[in-house]
């Protein structure tokens, strides 16, 4: 569609599609409209074309199942309204040219899709995704694109997964009438990371590709079961707030690697590779015979896994039955389990800097009996998650930002659409 026509349809953000993916705040809608117009004009100035397509790919938040995926457990996740957008158009060649705002422009020749240097670069991501799309019989052709991201890096909202499934959505919508299945799109994004020797799970890409609340069961490693939930978060009267506590993940590889390693040590002592085939009863019965071999922390982390893996089922049931209060109770339970048993809230022996723990304490002081709060993602440093009633949202954010800095509370909602063409 011509840029002038798109600008008219965007209508300053006052259109139904924008309201579905960005909410109803007039200031936010105007900001988003200006954002799209800015990068359409930038696309025209760089590539010369006036006939473009607009696409959006959300970030994601983990909601349930903390450190369960690497044990082939269950997770609950949701797409959020912070997104990556693309202004894209076919270029009639066999090359992809992308200008990604804030990064170096790059170009990929679609005649050569082999990844030879195993580095996680935008070019290597695109090569792998293009190869996978071709492998299922869909068209892969050259295009130009300007991409702009609003998913903060380091926020735990999966800016990389959002970018990956955006690339898949561009190929799908420019050349294949949107025929690429969202779950296949997610799997191709995961394969792109694996091709670069980053062995991530599938949760991030799936949440970004599918949209809304989703639950994933990883019991069958090769074919995880993905289910989208029919739940409208926008009607709850709550906001999802992700707070960046300022802690750095640098130097924490040992902490992160120890966590799945300890869980697996318990599983292996009980005759399994990972914890999923075992039950809570199996773990508890095994404690006397394996305690000295694996250590108490490994056992506590395994107890957390069994409880949080089951808890995801109850969270899904609560959402599907419309019992949001019960869902919030379960979020709090999950958070306490992560704190007491999984022990991924702060680094052992570190007493001066416990950013995540402090943020959780402040959240409980403000929200107790009114909302929910828990660690977000891997833990030890970084971010927390809270479901905050809108009538105390200002109080909550001002309290947290007084400690962790203005702008470090990201007020979000679960958006219903995944990586999609923007339909105006």
Average pLDDT, the chain: 93
Q: Between vectors from CA 417 to CA 202 and to CA 204, what angle results, nearest 5°?
A: 15
Q: What is the pLDDT at residue 255?
A: 83
Instruction: State the DSSP code for 51.
Output: B
Q: pLDDT digits over 118-145, tens only? A: 888 999 999 999 999 999 999 999 999 9
Binning pLDDT at 50, 70 and 90, where does residue 251 land? Answer: low
CA 95 to centroid of chain Cα atoms: 29
For the segment 3-22, the average pLDDT, to the nearest whole number, is 94
Q: pLDDT digits over 358-402, tens only? A: 999 999 999 988 999 999 988 888 889 999 999 999 999 999 999
CA 419 to centroid of chain Cα atoms: 12
Q: How far apart are CA 80 and CA 104, in angstroms?
A: 26
Q: What is the pLDDT at residue 261?
A: 93
Q: What is the pLDDT at residue 252?
A: 67
* In the predicted structure, residue 89 carries a pLDDT above the cut 60: yes
Alpha helices in 11-149 (DSSP H): 16-22, 26-47, 122-135
Beta bridge partners, 89, equal 144
Q: What is the pLDDT at residue 153?
A: 66
**What tokens were used for 359?**
């943020």
| Contact between residue 331 and residue 289 where contact means Cβ atoms under 8 Å apart | no
* In the predicted structure, residue 249 carries a pLDDT above the cut 60: no
Range of weakest confidence among 85-89, 155-159, 206-210:
155-159
* In the predicted structure, residue 250 carries a pLDDT above the cut 80: no
Instruction: State the DSSP code for 94.
Output: S
Helix 280-294 to helix 253-269 angle, to the nearest 10 degrees?
A: 110
What is the total residue count of the chain?
A: 424
| Entry pTM | 0.87
Q: pLDDT digits over 151-172, tens only? A: 766 556 768 899 999 999 999 9
Q: What is the pLDDT at residue 6?
A: 96
Q: What is the pLDDT at residue 348?
A: 81
Q: What is the pLDDT at residue 297?
A: 97
Binning pLDDT at 50, 70 and 90, where does residue 210 land? Answer: very high
Q: How far apart are CA 206 and CA 227, in angstroms?
A: 10
* In the predicted structure, residue 267 carries a pLDDT above the cut 80: yes
Q: pLDDT digits over 21-72, tens only? A: 998 889 999 999 999 999 999 999 999 999 999 999 999 999 999 999 899 9
Q: What is the pLDDT at residue 382?
A: 84
Q: pLDDT digits over 91-111, tens only? A: 999 999 999 998 999 999 999
């Amino acid at each position: 569609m011509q840029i002038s026509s798109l600008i008219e349809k965007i209508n300053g953000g006052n259109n139904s599609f924008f309201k579905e993916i960005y909410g109803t705040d007039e200031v936010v809608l105007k900001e988003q409209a200006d954002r799209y117009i800015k990068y359409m004009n930038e696309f025209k100035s760089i590539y010369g074309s006036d006939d473009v397509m607009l696409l959006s790919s959300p970030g994601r938040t983990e909601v349930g199942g903390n450190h369960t995926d690497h044990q082939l457990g269950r997770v609950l996740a949701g797409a959020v309204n912070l997104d990556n957008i693309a202004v894209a158009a076919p270029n009639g060649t066999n090359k992809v040219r992308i200008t990604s705002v804030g990064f170096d422009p790059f170009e990929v020749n679609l005649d050569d899709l082999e990844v030879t240097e195993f580095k996680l670069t935008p070019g290597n991501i695109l090569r792998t995704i293009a190869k996978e799309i071709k492998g299922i019989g869909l068209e892969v052709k050259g295009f130009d694109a300007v991409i702009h991201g609003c998913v903060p890096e380091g926020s735990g909202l999966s800016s990389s997964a959002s970018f990956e499934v955006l690339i898949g959505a561009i190929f799908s919508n420019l050349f294949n009438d949107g025929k690429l299945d969202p779950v296949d799109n997610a799997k191709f994004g995961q394969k792109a990371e694996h091709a670069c020797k980053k062995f991530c799970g599938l949760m991030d890409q799936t949440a970004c590709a599918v949209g809304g609340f989703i639950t994933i069961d990883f019991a069958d490693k090769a074919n995880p079961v993905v289910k989208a939930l029919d739940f409208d978060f926008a009607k709850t009267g709550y906001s999802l707030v992700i707070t960046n506590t300022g802690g750095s993940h640098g130097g924490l590889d040992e902490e992160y690697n120890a966590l799945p390693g300890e869980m697996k040590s318990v599983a292996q002592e009980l005759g399994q590779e990972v914890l999923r085939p075992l039950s809570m009863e199996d773990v508890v019965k095994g404690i006397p015979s394996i305690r000295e071999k694996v250590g108490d922390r490994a056992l506590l982390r395994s107890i957390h896994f069994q409880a949080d893996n089951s808890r995801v089922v109850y969270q899904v049931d609560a959402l599907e039955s419309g019992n949001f209060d019960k869902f919030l109770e379960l979020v709090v339970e999950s958070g306490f389990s992560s704190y007491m048993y999984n022990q991924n809230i702060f680094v052992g022996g570190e007493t001066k800097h416990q950013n995540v723990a402090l943020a959780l304490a402040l959240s409980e002081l403000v929200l107790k009996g009114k909302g929910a709060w828990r660690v977000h993602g891997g833990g030890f440093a970084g971010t927390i998650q809270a479901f905050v009633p809108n009538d105390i949202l200002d109080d909550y954010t001002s309290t947290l930002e007084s400690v962790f800095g203005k702008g470090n509370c990201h007020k979000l909602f679960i958006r219903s659409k995944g990586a999609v063409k923007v339909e105006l």
